[in-house]
Amino acid sequence: MTEDETNTPDGRDPSRLHTPVLLERCLELLAPAIAHDGAVVVDATLGMGGHSEALLDAHPGLTLIGLDRDTEALALAGARLGRFGDRAIRVHAVYDEIARAVREAGVTRIDGVLFDLGVSSLQLDDAERGFAYAQDAPLDMRMDQHAGETAAEVLATAPEGRLRAIFERYGEEPLAGRYARAIVAARREEPILRSGQLVELLQRATPAAVRDQRHPAKRVFQALRVEVNGELSVLERAIPAALSLLGVGGRAVIMSYQSLEDRLVKRELASRSTSTAPPGLPVELPEHRPEFRLLTRGAELASEDERARNPRAIPVRLRAAERMRDTR
């Protein structure tokens, strides 16, 4: 396939827009589960297809089901993965719809699943999507631009108490109450429609001592993005659903970029990899044995070299597990 055939109609080359995080480690962890003909892996966060392309190249007998809620990302991934034909199945779906996507592909069990959570490079780099507080743009923040409330709509309609709760829960923002009051007061004067407006408002509401320590908008923008896309509630449903689809020997690799996501992933994997035998039982019965075993000791980080090459790898936390017994 020529370079022109891997580009989208507007001339963009997906391979130059995004550098996959922890690519070699993901390939290494998934390989034992998918290195056979007929294997099926789900890339639950397809993005621009970097991890998927590497998986399909490394395993000629593999079929990959790639999910993404962002139609622009699906188009870019389609250009990148087109050379694999029907081995690459793209699905417009949120990742908590993984069971439906797998079923509609005619599959009952999968051999691997990969989650690369959070906002994608595509979304961050497109100023008009409104994800980045460093650039003035409409306050959209929807990963699927065809569905749901925008960030501007949340700011316009949410009561002060809800705004405070959003900033506290999803941004772990200590000034959540102050920011919520400032937003409610400001919107009485004019709608808050652009990221530049919101950043300026937050800066005015932040004590000078705090402004010197961190950017006032970082946690608020994260919280709004999580709220707009329902990221944590989706993840709470998606991880158990994905683990349940894995056959014995199947592996899950999950990369998180914020503490809220990582805590949720850690809790679910720990629960599935712990014996359910009652304390004091002399013999562990088969039905009490852990469903999974952990493949990483805690959360793995990107190397210093990778973080220097790709700054978006700096916050990553990778966890992985393998299914040991079938509970169905």
Annotated binding site for S-adenosyl-L-methionine: 49-51, 68, 95, 116, 123
Phi, psi of 302 (to 5 degrees): -70, 150
Residue pair 225/141 in contact (Cβ under 8 Å)? The answer is yes
The helix/strand/coil state of 172 is coil
Rounded Cα–Cα distance for residues 50 and 124 (Å): 16
The three-state secondary structure class of 292 is: strand
Q: Taken in order 270, 272, 278, 280, is the CA torsion positive or negative?
A: negative
Q: Three-state SS for 87?
A: helix
What stretch of H or E contains 317?
A: strand 317-323
- As annotated, the binding site includes 49-51, 68, 95, 116, 123
Count of Cβ atoms closer than 10 Å to residue 303 Cβ:
12
Sign, CA dihedral 132-138-141-143, equals negative
Cα angle value 258/68/261 (rounded, 5°)? 15
CA distance 75 to 190: 37
